[in-house]
C-alpha cells in the first residue's frame, strides 16, 4: 500500500510538471470552442460550468490528483496481480 501511495504521488508530481511545462499551450478544446464562435457567431452559450478551479494552479492540481489516484490504484492492483501470480482466483 505504501508503494502504491508513493507511486501515486510520483505520478501526480509528473503530471503537475507536464502541466507547468505545457502551461502556455492552448488546449484543442478551447480551439474547437473558438471555431464554434467563428462558424456560428450568433450562438448563445446557454450553460456555463457551475464551478471552475482557480487558474492556473487549481486545474493543474486537480488533474494531478486524478492522475495520482489512477497511478496509486494501478500500482496497488498490479502488485496484487503479481502477488497472486500462478494461483487461481478466489471465488
Partner 1 sequence: MHIMEGFLPPVWAVVWTVVAAPAVVYGARRTLSLVRVDTRTKALVAVAAAFVFVLSALKLPSVAGSSTHPTGTGVLVVLFGPAVTAFVSGIVLLYQALLLAHGGVTTLGANVTAMGIVGPFVGWTVYRVARSVGSVQQATFLAAAVTDWTTYLVTSLQLGLAFPAGGDPAGVAVAALEFAAVFSVTQLPIGLLEGMLAAALVGYLLRLETGAADRLGVAA
Binding residues for partner 1, rule: CB under 8 A, are: 11, 15, 18-19, 21-22, 25-33, 35-36, 39-40, 43, 45-53, 59, 62-64, 66-67, 69-74, 76-78, 80-82, 84-86, 89-91
Q: How long a stretch of residues is the chain?
A: 91
Q: Cα dist. 22→14, 16, 18, 26 in Å?
A: 12, 10, 6, 9
On the CB side of 54, CA atoms within 13 Å amount to 1
Nearest distance, CB of residue 56 and partner 1, angstroms? 11
Nearest distance, CB of residue 10 and partner 1, angstroms? 11
Amino acid at each position: 500500500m505504501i508503494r502504491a501511495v508513493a507511486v501515486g504521488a510520483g505520478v501526480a508530481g509528473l503530471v503537475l510538471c507536464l502541466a507547468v511545462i505545457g502551461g502556455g499551450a492552448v488546449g484543442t478544446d478551447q480551439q474547437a470552442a473558438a471555431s464554434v464562435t467563428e462558424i456560428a457567431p450568433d450562438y448563445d452559450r446557454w450553460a456555463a460550468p457551475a464551478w471552475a478551479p482557480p487558474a492556473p494552479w487549481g486545474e493543474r492540481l486537480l488533474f494531478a490528483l486524478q492522475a495520482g489516484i489512477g497511478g496509486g490504484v494501478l500500482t496497488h492492483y498490479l502488485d496484487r496481480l503479481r502477488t497472486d501470480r500462478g494461483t487461481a482466483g478466489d471465488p
